[in-house]
C-alpha cells in the first residue's frame, strides 16, 4: 500500500455535489492498494500512521500523534498513486489492485483505524471525487508498506 499523509486543519470529499466525508483537524490519507498487498500491509501502516508524531506540542515541536490530539482521519482511495510512468507519457496502473481485492483491503484498513476510537470518514471507492483540504504546515509524508523492512 502506498499512502500520502497530509496534516490538515480541515478536509472534505464531495461526490456528485454532496459532501460524503468531512473532518476537522487531523489527517487526510490518500490510499493506493497494490496488487500484492494484504492485511499485514494495512496493519503495519495503521500502526505507523496512528503513532506518527507530526502535530505540534505546546513548544511548537512535532511531538504529538493524531491519537494524542484526538484528531480526525479522512481516507480517500486513489489508485493513481501506483502509476508507473517510466515508459512513454501515459502512466500505467497495472500494479494497482483490482477492485475485488482493493475494496475489501481499503475497508479493512478503515476498520482497523476505527479501533483507535478516532473519527474516521472516507470518500466513495471508485467514485469521481472532489477533495478539498487545508494542508496544515504544510506537512505531507508518503508511506509505503513495502518499505517496512
Which residues are designated catalytic?
A: 78-80
CB atoms within 10 A of CB 58: 7
CA dihedral (32, 108, 103, 78) in degrees, to 10, reads -20
Beta bridge partners, 71, equal: none
- Which cell numbers in the block locate residue 116? 483507535
Task: Identify the bridge partners of residue 37 per DSSP, sorted by sequence position.
Answer: none
Handedness of CA 43, 44, 46, 47 (dihedral sign): positive
Q: What is the DSSP letter of 21?
A: E
Neighbours of 89 (CB within 10 A): 5
Place of cell 505507523: 48
As a whole number of Å, the CA-based R_g of the chain is 15
Amino acid at each position: 500500500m502506498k499512502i500520502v499523509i497530509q496534516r490538515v486543519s480541515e478536509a472534505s470529499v464531495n461526490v456528485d455535489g454532496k459532501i460524503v466525508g468531512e473532518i476537522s483537524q487531523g489527517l487526510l490519507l490518500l490510499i493506493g492498494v497494490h496488487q500484492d498487498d494484504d492485511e499485514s500491509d494495512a496493519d503495519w501502516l495503521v500502526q505507523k500512521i496512528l503513532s506518527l508524531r507530526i502535530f505540534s506540542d505546546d513548544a511548537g515541536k512535532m511531538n504529538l500523534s493524531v491519537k494524542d490530539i484526538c484528531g480526525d482521519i479522512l481516507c480517500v482511495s486513489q489508485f493513481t498513486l501506483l502509476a508507473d510512468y517510466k515508459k512513454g507519457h501515459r502512466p500505467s496502473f497495472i500494479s494497482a489492485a483490482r477492485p475485488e481485492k482493493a475494496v475489501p483491503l481499503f475497508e479493512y484498513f478503515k476498520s482497523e483505524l476505527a479501533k483507535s476510537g478516532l473519527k474516521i470518514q472516507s470518500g466513495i471507492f471508485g467514485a469521481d471525487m472532489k477533495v478539498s483540504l487545508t494542508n496544515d504546515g504544510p506537512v505531507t509524508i508518503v508511506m509505503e508498506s513495502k518499505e517496512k523492512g
